[in-house]
Structure 1
């Protein structure tokens, strides 16, 4: 069971605003959870909720696709062009379609990171149209 103080700390870390800086923080946090939240013991291979959820037949792929579509929803709210949104939908759709194939799809989920690709598109847009949101990676 999660303590209420823990939930408050988690919610306090991510801003709820609609401004570009808040959106950037949310999509970066979600991408990290979906694609590289854990490291496989004994390797340096990161995995995330997307790959783990894909191990659950049908429902896992639907949940992972829904979370990927949330990234696109945030991008849409930023006012990104429709062609970029369509490209992002294509990444999520391809990941979901191939990920739904038993066994081979699970392996594919470990290798193909649609949410990382989509985050790159969002970052490029934000860096061009909202440069004040840029964060220097250390």
Structure 2
């Protein structure tokens, strides 16, 4: 009886993890690749658009990116994965601060997509 209850709890945890991954995939698409550049196949997201506002836009981008880190903590990601995510967020922030280059950097680096992929790979490996 105890083992079946444990299996039910594990299944519930897996459902929560799957729901978190779906949320993160939607969030990453919105922030990193929701807007197609006309006449190209290249997509940017809200993060790159917000990043056009010097300093403040990049600070808002960090706040948005912290959501992925929060979800990683909620699903029990390791400290190493969360540290890699923090490094990606820091790179995205400081890269975005560079005048003109930073706007292009934001469009190409896509920290939220990188962090979502890190978390998905971690969860697949440890599931």
What is the TM-score when the length of structure 1 is the normalising length? Answer: 0.77
State the superposition RMSD in angstroms: 1.3
1:53 alignment partner, one of 50, 54, 65: 50
Please state how far the C-alpha of 1:75 moved relative to its aligned partner: 0.4
Matched-pair contact (CA < 8 Å) for 2:81–2:122: no
Aligned length: 113
Tell me which residue corresponds to 1:85.
Answer: 82
Structure 2 stretches lacking a partner, 5+ long:
1-14
| Structure richer in helix, relative to its length | 2
Matches within 5 A, 1:108-119: 108-119=105-116
Which structure is higher in RCO with an 8 Å CA cutoff and minimum separation 6? 2
Please state how far the C-alpha of 1:129 moved relative to its aligned partner: 3.4
Matched-pair contact (CA < 8 Å) for 2:32–2:44: yes
Structure 1 stretches lacking a partner, 5+ long:
1-17, 131-138
| Partner SS, residue 122 of structure 2 | helix
What is the TM-score when the length of structure 2 is the normalising length? Answer: 0.84
Tell me which residue corresponds to 1:26.
Answer: 23
Runs of 4+ in 1 over 2 A off after TM superposition: none
Distance 1:52 1:114 in 2: 14
